[in-house]
A = this chain, B = another copy of it.
Amino acid sequence: MSTLVNKLHLFVNAHSQEFIESLFSFLRIKSISAQNVGMEECAVFLQEFMEKCGVETRLLNLDGAFPALYGEVLNPKAKKTILIYGHYDVQPEDPLELWDSDPFDPVIREGKIFARGATDDKGNLMATLLALKTLLAVNCSLPINLKFFFEGEEEIGSPNMKAYMEEYQELLRADYTILCDRGIHESGRPQIYLGNKGITHADITIYGAKRDVHSGQAPLIPNAAWELIWLLNKLKDDRDHILVDEYENEVIQPGKEDLELMENIPFDREEYAEIYGITNVINGNSHKTHVDSLVQLLYSPTMTINGLISGYQGSGNKTVIPNRATAKLDFRFVKNMDPAQSVERVKSYLSKIYPGKIDVEFGDVRNPSKVSPNADIVKTAIAATTEIYGSEPVVWPLLDGSGPMSLFEELLGAPAIIIGLGAPFAYANTHAPNENIGVEDYLNGIKAMAYIYYLYGEE
């Protein structure tokens, strides 16, 4: 173990009571964006705390948005800049009666800190700041430029995140972004994500007669529900293949490095099927290796029906020919798809296969995001977490989900990775009663981030 790592351990352990108290103060401020409760107070607290950690701060404002916080510690000699992302707002606490203790009066039980926001995201956010404080105390200098961007709207879908990035583009520029809004792996190993899928939504509505018609006339009246069935069946077949022309042309299979990463991700197909109660595993690949399953999960573009709505919805029966049928879908995109192009391909295909009256409404597009496993930030994060946690991180080439990760690269030139500092997802109770973070998880997060700040500058 390097001397610095040893010092980090000693310092953080010696200051654990103080660091826990700091988090408690943060957690006691009810900052619920969805209810517009305590947001200003929390932003003020956070700004003061950042200053105490040696960060030069600036409160960012946009009309109609909760304030965001910017912070920086610049080193004239540093060649690299990291941007840290987190959020200070939390989910509402309800249902209150299911909490074992007051969600805004943190307590420690069995080695865990219980409070709303403990792991999502106040514990993680604070770890990134205390990591700076720790490194400055132990090492006396920061070998990189460090920037912080903390928003107050993540729990309501980050409606102004892009606008903030555009408004403060120059301020926020960095080489890489680290998002600290996830947890370590359930096995106790650290966890890193190198990207996520892109996404968009679409509502497809087909129209039949000008009103619902008695079903006795079915031989002569178009049925919007049947038309929708036939249309959707032409979008994706029963082997789960997307049928849109040229749709998967740009999709690439995982490279050698990504395959190696996946070898190292714990994933038990049978356990997974058990958790979700899946009896018939789709695509007939129940006998594939665990890497095959992960490749399928992470490298497949998806077209998912989220909802179907047509005609009579009640109990019993109503002999009616529905004159309208809607499918709600989401589309997820993998590297190297261009989601805007994919949307055009879907639209063009739809107009080819369905000449009738149809409404197709696509939502905003989020691009996929992916950082190479060979990027220096990734190598640093792997090396640092391995040493701090004493075990190799679980490194996901990308998340199965989607989010704004690509915006950091597109707007700030700072491709994003996620480092999970919080409680393991399966036990964290994120967005639920009894949210928590392990005291050890919290302290390890501080150490890990401190070592990353150091190592990334030294490389």
Contact = CB atoms under 8 A, between A and B. Distances in A.
Contacts of A217: 297, 400
**How many copies are assembled?**
2
B322 A307 contact: yes
Contacts of A402: 216, 319
A223 B240 CA distance: 10
A228 interface: yes
Contacts of A399: 216
Interface in A146-184: none
Interface string A12-55: 00000000000000000000000000000000000000000000
Which 4 interchain pairs have the tightest Cβ spacing? A210-B277, A216-B401, A307-B311, A307-B312
A358 to B, nearest CB: 11
Given A233-B229, A310-B307, A302 B332 contact: no
Contact of A282 (B210, B220, B322): B220
A346 interface: no
Nearest to A300: B219
A356 interface: yes
A325 B307 CA distance: 9
A308 B306 contact: no
Interface string A288-302: 000001001100101
Contacts of A272: 220
Contact of A230 (B199, B214, B238): B238
Nearest to A239: B230
A195 to B, nearest CB: 13
| Category for how many chain A residues contact B | 35 or more
B308 A225 contact: yes
A402 B217 CA distance: 11
A295 to B, nearest CB: 9
Interface in A231-253: 232-233, 236-238, 240
Nearest to A231: B238
Contacts of A219: 240, 283, 296-297, 300, 302, 400
A283 B218 CA distance: 11
A197 B209 contact: no
B306 A325 contact: no
B322 A306 contact: yes
Given A226-B236, A304-B319, A307-B310, 7 more contacts: A219-B300, A221-B282, A222-B282, A225-B306, A308-B322, A317-B330, A318-B328
A414 B229 CA distance: 42
Interface in A190-229: 197, 199, 201, 208-211, 213-223, 225-226, 228-229
A223 B305 contact: yes
A343 interface: no
A317 to B, nearest CB: 4
Interface in A302-360: 302, 304-313, 317-322, 325, 327-328, 330, 332, 355-357
B330 A308 contact: no
A280 B197 CA distance: 39
A279 interface: yes
Contact of A233 (B233, B328, B356): B233
A305 B311 contact: yes
Contacts of A201: 317
Contacts of A312: 306-307, 328
B356 A305 contact: no
Given A209-B277, A277-B209, A363-B317, A218 B304 contact: yes
B330 A215 contact: yes
A311 B300 contact: no
A425 to B, nearest CB: 11
Nearest to A237: B230
A355 B281 CA distance: 12
